[in-house]
A and B are shown apart, each in its own frame.
Chain A
Amino acid sequence: MNLFFLNGSWLPWIIAAAGVPVVIHLLARGRPPKITFSSLRFLLKADGARRRLRKPQDWLLLVLRTLLVMALILLFLRPILRDVQMQEAETPQARHVVLVVDATASMSAREGGRSRLATAAALAGQRLRDLPAGSTANVIWMRNRPDPIFPVLGPNLQSLQEALQSVDGSMETGLPDDAVAAAVSMLEKVTGVKEIVVFSDFQESTWKGVTLQTPGDIALRLVPVGESLIGNTAITRLTAEPASPLVNENVSVQAEVANFSAQPRKQTLYLDTPGGRQAMELNLEPWSTVPAVFRFRPEEAGALILTASLDEDELAGDNRRWAVLETSQSIPVAIVTANAEASPAREWAKALRALEWMDLSIYPNRESVPAATEVLFLADWDGNFGATQIPTIAALGPGTRMSPELRLELAREPWFVRVEKSDHPAFRVFADGRMGEPVEAAFKQRYAFSNGVGMPGSAVLAYQDGMPALWQSAEFPNLLIWNLDPDPATSSWASQPQFLTFLGELVATGRTREGRVSEGVPGQAATLALREGSLIGDYKFLEGEAPLPVEASPDGALLLAHSTGNPGVYTWNIENKSAARHVVNFSPEESDLRPLDREATMRVGGEILSSAQAIATTKDRELWPWILALVVLLLFCEMAAVHWIEKT
């Protein structure tokens, strides 16, 4: 059995701290006044007598107090009795060890005044200190990707310890299999005694179902970090509907707050928008999720950042969440027609111009339609959809070439239209019935398909005989084929208010914008398509005002930014203008801090060690409880001695 000190490095600091009151006492004590006395003869006699009288008492107090101070110092140094286990030989053998330290977001949870990551790093550091001479080691941070400190194992244990001491937490998720696989690949290159030690909180959401396989010559040891179950409250979702609202359009912001604890909690959820802050009190039952809905109206166009927040708790990273709204003043809509005075272009234009939030333009051909157009109306569609991603409402007409061929049909009896796909977003506003039916008109003219539409899809609206009136292509989901004649000569629909409403909803719900907001989790690379002819230097990826490194993908088509470790809103700048946003939010699966139970942990594989046994080469017996008892005993003895001396 050998005596070691877990906090041996504290000794100089403890001695320095112990000296401070002594120095203060020596500096602060005043010099007693002097007095000339006839003779010290009797004073010396008296002093000697007094000292002789007090000597045994002084010695007793001195001994007790010295023992007390020594016991306190020993307590801080955390001595352990170590029974060093020799694995194979009588003499300690060099080992090759890879320490996998869980550095995911859940390890940032604070317990006992420090994060679990700091605890894990300290245990790993202790593990390194106890390795026999000649051992090699490495540390792999288990994050979004395995992140080894060195590319291979090495004898520079001091550098590894320094890296462990200075580790910062991350908000990333982790992949245990990948981290252990990386450790195995390192150890396969060496011979000798090999082991992998995993320090983790073994969070259930990360480790459930994980089974670690290691070759037979590599020992696997698991060290669960964390003494107790930490309760946590998190914002797990934040969305806005619509995601791309117009200025002054009502926006519904929906958040979800989860209580990952066994106690009910009361939380205040805040939502910060450009218009100000809103707050909502939430009562959270144990292990429950509560929705919260805020409403606001954006008053300006642009990328608006929404921030939802809670008061900070033991895991602070999931107490804030972001969303970005792309708000615009109006929707750019284009009508392509050779004859703006002919139906349906004429009726479309008349109705769309009546909506002030439409920015309508009419073009003679598709090539002249600007890229910023968000919805395209094609009159006299020739049957070719093309490669555009813009939502297109293509009206059947004489120029349409589809198989089988269309023919214009005149009604003997008027046709009426019914809703076939009631869940289509364009019909939402008609759901409560106050607006009536979207198409409450008779039609006398339509195009007929002799044998189906000729393309995969489904009818959104259909005539009573089943003939499609508005057909959504399955192959091109942005394409709606229009078979509704709004010409007043053949239908009264265009004069009904529902025509305007339906058209507006079709545009508003069908529009898509070139993706300018992307989302990701911490550590996941943000990407942006590189425009043809652009240089990589024209692009910047910013966290606030700070630029972050950017690189091009191997095929040169995408820009990649890997430095997304912190949750928040990042900005892509192209030629110093904000072009896109990237929102990084905490991964909700990291918020539930419940660990695997003992059995599930055992199924992961390997040998499970307690934190106290984390140093796998040894079995330690902590002596601090005994020393603490000794300190208490000495305190009582000292108090009793002082009391006895004063009495005598």
Chain B
Amino acid sequence: MSDSPPLSYRYLRPEDIQRLGGFEYAPKLVVEGYLSGRHACRSRGASIEFHDYRSYSEGDDLATVDWRVFARTDRLYVKTFEQEADLECHVLLDSSASMGSGGEPGKLDFASFFAAALCYLVIRGRDRASLHLFDETLRHSMPSGSTRGHLHSLLNLLENNRPGGPTSIATSLRKLYPLIKRRGTLVVISDFYDDAGEIFSALSPYLHRGFRVHLFHVLTPLELKMDLEGFFTFLDAESGGKLVVRCEEMREPYTEAMGVHMQAMRQLAARRNVDYALARTDGSLFDLFDHFLR
């Protein structure tokens, strides 16, 4: 990519690329892939490296039993192996109406910047990235690719993306699952205005299949702190509903309710070994990479 003309898209500018030079996309999860690459892959076949022992379960291939360990210990253990393969990173970007609100930058813009940078890093590392836009359902799915041309397509898709209808993350996740052939990393960038239990229920197949899931919770400072004074009429970006409140009175119960939701997300994420991070639109998305790529 270094010999090609510099990229300049709305969500990936030359200065962004320059800053991303210090980052490398190296996810922690071991995934399977059939192209030889730099990543470890747990699958039988052309095993390259011994990975680990586990107890024998009825049905396991007897060829994988380590008889020497059995001779020593009189217990049955099977070996597991690693195989490097290409990593797929699936970016699921919330493009519902709620993502259209926020100051400057708006949430969708912020999320799009992050998604663009992430796709760039993945493809730069000769890995494959896919981009899926959703609101109440999957609106647009671009399958995995690792070429520069594919990156251009992703960036174009982001540029032409606009906030849509109401949010249904769980539905979108369920619709996406059959479209993803190989497990990899699933990055969900959303404001998560949906039921936490439903979301994680929809993530269960991914987790069971071995996806590494990252959740980036995009919120504006207003959504976090409700730091307005006086009476305001709040208009729901998705439903159009209205509520007149006095912000000073609402601040404490609102932040408490939002905190409860975020805490629920955090707890469910921790329980399911899902990575969860808060992405404030007034922060730097490069700080997110620090978190994500450590």
Interchain nearest-CB distance for B195 vs A (Å): 10
A32 contact set on B, CB distance < 8 A:
230-233, 244
Within 8 A of A (CB), among B185-235: 191, 193, 220, 222-223, 228, 230-235
Contact assessment for A43 and B238 in the assembled complex, using a CB-CB cutoff below 8 Å: no
Chain A interface bracket (under 10, 10 to 19, 20 to 34, 35 or more): 20 to 34
Q: Does A41 sit within 8 A of B, measured CB to CB?
A: yes
Interchain nearest-CB distance for B50 vs A (Å): 49
B69 contact set on A, CB distance < 8 A:
none
A47 contact set on B, CB distance < 8 A:
243, 245, 250, 253
Q: Does A33 sit within 8 A of B, measured CB to CB?
A: yes
Within 8 A of A (CB), among B242-276: 243-245, 249-250, 253-254, 256-258, 261
Contact assessment for B235 and A36 in the assembled complex, using a CB-CB cutoff below 8 Å: yes
Task: Known A43-B243, A49-B257; judge A38-B232 contact (CB<8 A).
Answer: no
Interchain nearest-CB distance for A38 vs B (Å): 4
Most chain A CB inside 10 Å of its own CB: which residue of B222, B232, B233, B234: B234
Which of B21-29, B83-91, B94-102, B131-139 has 4 or more CB atoms under 8 Å from chain A?
B94-102
Q: Does A31 sit within 8 A of B, measured CB to CB?
A: yes
Most chain B CB inside 10 Å of its own CB: which residue of A35, A46, A47, A49: A46
Q: Does B42 sit within 8 A of A, measured CB to CB?
A: no
B167 contact set on A, CB distance < 8 A:
39
Contact assessment for B257 and A34 in the assembled complex, using a CB-CB cutoff below 8 Å: no
Contact of B193 among A35, A36, A41, A50 (CB under 8 A): A41
Contact assessment for B244 and A39 in the assembled complex, using a CB-CB cutoff below 8 Å: no
Q: Does B157 sit within 8 A of A, measured CB to CB?
A: no
Interchain nearest-CB distance for A556 vs B (Å): 87
- As a 0/1 sequence over residues 31 to 63 of chain A, the CB contacts with chain B under 8 angstroms (1 = contact) are 111111111111111110110010000000000
Most chain B CB inside 10 Å of its own CB: which residue of A33, A38, A47: A38
Q: Does B107 sit within 8 A of A, measured CB to CB?
A: yes
A39, B219: Cα distance in complex, Å:
11
Look across to chain B and name the residue whose beta carbon is closest to the beta carbon of A30: B231
Contact assessment for A50 and B249 in the assembled complex, using a CB-CB cutoff below 8 Å: yes
Contact assessment for B253 and A39 in the assembled complex, using a CB-CB cutoff below 8 Å: no
Contact of B261 among A34, A42, A53 (CB under 8 A): A42
In the complex, the number of residue pairs spanning A and B with C-beta atoms less than 8 Å apart equals: 80
Contact assessment for A45 and B233 in the assembled complex, using a CB-CB cutoff below 8 Å: no
B102 contact set on A, CB distance < 8 A:
38
Contact of B250 among A35, A36, A43 (CB under 8 A): A43
Interchain nearest-CB distance for B105 vs A (Å): 14
Contact of B254 among A33, A34, A38, A42 (CB under 8 A): A42
A45, B261: Cα distance in complex, Å:
11
Interchain nearest-CB distance for A478 vs B (Å): 97
Contact assessment for B257 and A38 in the assembled complex, using a CB-CB cutoff below 8 Å: no
B49 contact set on A, CB distance < 8 A:
none
Q: Does B282 sit within 8 A of A, measured CB to CB?
A: no
Interchain nearest-CB distance for A30 vs B (Å): 8
Contact assessment for A39 and B261 in the assembled complex, using a CB-CB cutoff below 8 Å: no
A47, B231: Cα distance in complex, Å:
13
Q: Does B237 sit within 8 A of A, measured CB to CB?
A: yes
Interchain nearest-CB distance for A11 vs B (Å): 34
Look across to chain B and name the residue whose beta carbon is closest to the beta carbon of A44: B243
Contact assessment for B250 and A37 in the assembled complex, using a CB-CB cutoff below 8 Å: no
Look across to chain A and name the residue whose beta carbon is closest to the beta carbon of B230: A32
Contact assessment for B237 and A33 in the assembled complex, using a CB-CB cutoff below 8 Å: no
A41, B97: Cα distance in complex, Å:
14
Contact assessment for A38 and B243 in the assembled complex, using a CB-CB cutoff below 8 Å: no
Q: Does B149 sit within 8 A of A, measured CB to CB?
A: no
Interchain nearest-CB distance for A58 vs B (Å): 12
Interchain nearest-CB distance for B175 vs A (Å): 21
A45 contact set on B, CB distance < 8 A:
253, 257
A43, B256: Cα distance in complex, Å:
10
Contact assessment for B236 and A46 in the assembled complex, using a CB-CB cutoff below 8 Å: no
Contact of A40 among B220, B236, B249 (CB under 8 A): B236
A44, B245: Cα distance in complex, Å:
10
Q: Does B18 sit within 8 A of A, measured CB to CB?
A: no
Contact assessment for B234 and A43 in the assembled complex, using a CB-CB cutoff below 8 Å: yes
Look across to chain A and name the residue whose beta carbon is closest to the beta carbon of B246: A32
A45, B235: Cα distance in complex, Å:
15
Q: Does B239 sit within 8 A of A, measured CB to CB?
A: yes
Contact assessment for A42 and B233 in the assembled complex, using a CB-CB cutoff below 8 Å: no
Look across to chain A and name the residue whose beta carbon is closest to the beta carbon of B97: A38
Task: Known A43-B254, A50-B253; judge A38-B235 contact (CB<8 A).
Answer: no
Task: Known A32-B232, A33-B232; judge A38-B237 contact (CB<8 A).
Answer: yes
Contact of B237 among A37, A43, A44, A50 (CB under 8 A): A37
A513, B157: Cα distance in complex, Å:
123
- As a 0/1 sequence over residues 131 to 175 of chain B, the CB contacts with chain A under 8 angstroms (1 = contact) are 000000000000000000000000000000000000100000000
Contact assessment for A36 and B232 in the assembled complex, using a CB-CB cutoff below 8 Å: no
Task: Known A32-B231, A47-B243; judge A38-B107 contact (CB<8 A).
Answer: yes
B243 contact set on A, CB distance < 8 A:
40, 43-44, 47
Contact assessment for B250 and A38 in the assembled complex, using a CB-CB cutoff below 8 Å: no
B233 contact set on A, CB distance < 8 A:
31-35
Within 8 A of A (CB), among B38-55: none
Q: Does B59 sit within 8 A of A, measured CB to CB?
A: no
Contact assessment for A39 and B193 in the assembled complex, using a CB-CB cutoff below 8 Å: yes
Interchain nearest-CB distance for B260 vs A (Å): 9
A314, B15: Cα distance in complex, Å:
93
Within 8 A of B (CB), among A1-46: 31-46
A76, B99: Cα distance in complex, Å:
59
Contact assessment for B241 and A40 in the assembled complex, using a CB-CB cutoff below 8 Å: yes
Interchain nearest-CB distance for A585 vs B (Å): 69
Contact of A46 among B235, B238, B256 (CB under 8 A): B256
B236 contact set on A, CB distance < 8 A:
37, 39-40
A39 contact set on B, CB distance < 8 A:
98, 167, 191, 193, 236-238
Look across to chain A and name the residue whose beta carbon is closest to the beta carbon of B231: A32
Interchain nearest-CB distance for A142 vs B (Å): 64
Interchain Cβ contacts under 8 Å between A and B, 20 examples: A31-B233, A32-B231, A35-B235, A36-B235, A36-B237, A37-B223, A37-B235, A37-B236, A38-B107, A38-B220, A38-B223, A39-B193, A42-B258, A42-B261, A43-B245, A45-B253, A45-B257, A46-B256, A47-B243, A47-B253
- Given A38-B101, A49-B256; 15 other pairs, CB 8 A cutoff: A32-B233, A35-B228, A35-B235, A36-B235, A38-B99, A38-B102, A38-B191, A38-B193, A39-B191, A39-B193, A40-B243, A43-B234, A43-B245, A43-B254, A46-B257
B contact set with A: CB distance below 8 Å: 98-99, 101-102, 107, 167, 191, 193, 220, 222-223, 228, 230-239, 241, 243-245, 249-250, 253-254, 256-258, 261
The 7 closest A-B pairs by CB, nearest first: A46-B253, A32-B231, A38-B98, A46-B254, A39-B193, A42-B257, A40-B236
A contact set with B: CB distance below 8 Å: 31-47, 49-50, 53
